[in-house]
Amino acid sequence: MDIANKVALITGTRRIGSVVGVELARRGADIALGYNRSRQEAEAAASQIRSLGRKALPLQGDVSKAAEVRNLVSRVVSEFGRVDVLVNMASVYRAQPFEETTEQEWDDNLNVNLKSAFLCAQAVVPIMRGNGGGRIINFADWIAASRRPRYKGFVPYYVSKAGVIGLTEVLALELAPHQILVNAIAPGPILAPPDLTEEEDREVRKATPLGRWGGEIEIAKAVISLIETDFITGECIRVDGGRHVH
At residue 52, φ and ψ (nearest 5 deg) are -90, 0
At what angle are helices 216-228 and 16-26 packed, to 10 degrees? 50
Does 93 participate in catalysis according to the annotation? Answer: no
Q: How far is 191 from 130, CA to CA, in rounded Å?
A: 37
Tell me the mean pLDDT per 10 residues along the chain, length 246: 98 93 98 94 97 98 98 98 98 93 97 98 98 98 93 95 98 98 97 90 96 97 98 98 92
The predicted pLDDT at position 136 comes to: 99
Parse the chain into domains and list their residue ranges. 7-245
The predicted pLDDT at position 14 comes to: 83
CATH code for the domain defined by 7-245: 3.40.50.720
Could you tell me which residues come within 8 angstroms of residue 128 by beta carbon, excluding any fewer than 6 positions away?
Answer: 83, 84, 134, 178, 180
Catalytic entry in 35, 93, 157, 158: 157
The predicted pLDDT at position 180 comes to: 98
Could you tell me which residues come within 8 angstroms of residue 31 by beta carbon, excluding any fewer than 6 positions away?
Answer: 7, 8, 9, 10, 21, 24, 25, 45, 46, 49, 54, 55, 56, 57
